């Protein structure tokens, strides 16, 4: 597994909120759902994203905006347009004074309309619990990413727009997987840009020494790695690897390995049939107790508590 695969392997939607919005100006929506990750693809028209403490950012036709929670923001036709609706967790929509807009917005299958037209046409997806998005990916993202058509002319978009309006068998599963594909395609394009503030370990994948060590750790996290063995495999001295790894990644190799193992464990624990013992073996811990101790130290909860929280979210 290369570094980008390790970063982008985690988006796995499960019953994610998916809608198509057809909006005629003036329109403005304030989003306070605290979703860990949301994405808006503008099929036509333009929009603005405004956070309470930042200047508005324009999103053009054919572009994709990705918002990392939990900060609230306003999505509108113009920064000066006052919000007419407020989106809460679970897709619940109200006027600013608390009146439900459910009947007005559910005009068609997964379609919201406003103003009787659709000069702005957008596809909106939202992951509603952080268990569907790996912590390392969320930590690597700014709260707003705008991906232009030049960065990513994504072939998934027309398929997703067509599928949003359908109610076929297993439609929810189809939409979840298409949302995952769209997010991965957009973020892969963004991380390739020089202006992307990728984490140190991601940038270090291009280094001939540290990149080799990272690939070894990603490919086989269960192996009983030592700095000495990594250094031999990377073709440098132990001291040289330790120094260069810390400079580029920002932490020592074994600290990074612990974080990587526990991030993988957090994802694996969401699988219905996975036991703590099986997960421990897959990520390099000798016993369920050893994994539980390390997991609770880093995440603040036991593996079982993490599993229950992810299932109930």
CA 111, 114, 118, 121 torsion-angle sign: negative
pTM for the full model? 0.76
Q: Nearest to residue 152, comparing CAs of 176, 175, 181, 126?
A: 181
Residue that the structure tokens 């269960």 belong to: 222
The whole-angstrom separation of Cα 62 and Cα 242 is 44
If one compares 203 and 208, the residue with the highest pLDDT of the two is 208
**Residue 262 structure tokens:** 């526990």
State the pairing for strand pair 93-94/85-87. Answer: antiparallel
The set of long-range contacts for 181-184, using a CB threshold of 8 Å and a minimum separation of 24, is: 181/156, 182/39, 182/41, 182/64, 182/125, 182/154, 182/156, 182/157, 183/11, 183/37, 183/39, 183/66, 183/125, 184/8, 184/11
Q: What is the pLDDT of residue 173?
A: 87
Q: What is the pLDDT of residue 164?
A: 84
Q: What are the residues facing 59 on neighbouring strands?
A: 47
Residue 106: pLDDT band with limits 50, 70, 90: low
Report the mean per-residue pLDDT for the chain. Answer: 86
Per-residue pLDDT, averaged over 23-37, amounts to 91
Express each pLDDT in 125-162 by its tens digit. 888 766 656 777 887 888 999 999 888 877 888 888 88
If one compares 64 and 269, the residue with the highest pLDDT of the two is 64
Q: Which backbone phi and psi does 213 adopt, to 5 degrees?
A: -65, -40
Express each pLDDT in 217-227 by its tens digit. 988 999 999 99
Q: Which backbone phi and psi does 239 adopt, to 5 degrees?
A: -65, -40
Q: Which backbone phi and psi does 295 adopt, to 5 degrees?
A: -65, -45
């Amino acid at each position: 597994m290369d570094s980008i695969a390790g970063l982008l392997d985690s988006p796995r939607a499960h019953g994610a909120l998916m809608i198509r919005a057809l909006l005629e100006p003036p329109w403005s929506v304030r989003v306070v759902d605290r979703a860990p990750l949301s994405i808006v693809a503008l099929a036509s028209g333009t929009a603005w994203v405004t956070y309470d403490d930042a200047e508005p950012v324009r999103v053009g036709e054919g572009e994709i905006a990705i918002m990392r929670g939990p900060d609230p923001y306003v999505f509108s036709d113009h920064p000066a347009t006052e919000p007419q609706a407020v989106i809460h967790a679970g897709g619940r929509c109200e006027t600013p004074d608390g009146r439900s807009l459910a009947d007005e917005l559910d005009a068609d299958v997964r379609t919201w309309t406003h103003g009787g037209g659709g000069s702005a046409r957008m596809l909106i997806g939202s992951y509603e619990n952080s268990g569907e998005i790996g912590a390392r990916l969320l930590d690597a993202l700014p709260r707003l990413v705008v991906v232009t058509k030049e960065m990513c002319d994504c072939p998934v978009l027309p398929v997703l727009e067509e599928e949003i309006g359908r109610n076929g068998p297993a439609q929810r599963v189809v939409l979840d997987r298409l949302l995952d594909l769209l997010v991965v395609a957009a973020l892969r394009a963004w991380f390739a840009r020089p202006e992307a503030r990728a984490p140190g370990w991601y940038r270090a994948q291009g280094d001939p020494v540290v990149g080799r060590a990272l690939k070894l750790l990603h490919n086989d996290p269960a192996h009983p790695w030592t700095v000495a063995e990594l250094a031999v495999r990377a073709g440098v001295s132990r001291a040289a690897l330790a120094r260069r790894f810390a400079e580029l990644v920002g932490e020592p190799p074994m600290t990074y390995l612990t974080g990587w193992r526990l991030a993988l464990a957090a994802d694996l624990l969401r699988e219905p049939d996975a036991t703590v013992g099986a997960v421990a073996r897959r990520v390099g811990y000798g016993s369920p107790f050893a994994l539980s101790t390390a997991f609770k130290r880093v995440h603040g909860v036991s593996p079982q508590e993490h599993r229950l929280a992810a299932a109930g979210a």
